[in-house]
Amino acid sequence: MFRRASRLLLSIVMLMAGAVVGVGATAGAAHADSCYTWNRTLSQGSSGSDVTQLQIRVAGWVTSGERLSYDGQYGARTAAAVKKFQAAYGLSADGVAGPATFSKIYALQDADCTPVHFTYAELNKCNSDWSGGAVSAATARSNALKTMWKLEAMRHALGDVPITISSGFRSRACNNAVGGSATSRHLYGDAADLVGSPSLCRLAQQARTHGFSEILGPGYPGHNDHTHVAFDPSPYWSAPTCGI
* Residues labelled as active-site residues: 223
**What gap in Å lies between CA 230 and CA 134, rounded to an integer?**
15
3-state secondary structure of 237: strand
Q: Is 163 exposed, middle or buried (0-12, 13-18, 19+ CB in 10 A)?
A: buried
Q: Please state, in angstroms and as integers, the Cα–Cα distance from residue 188 to each residue in 129, 157, 203, 230, 231, following that order.
A: 14, 26, 21, 9, 9
Instruction: Check residue 209 and report its DSSP letter.
Output: T
Pairing of strands 214-216, 227-230: antiparallel
CA distances from 96 to 52, 54, 100, 137, 175 (A): 15, 11, 10, 34, 42
C-alpha 60/C-alpha 14 separation (Å) is: 23
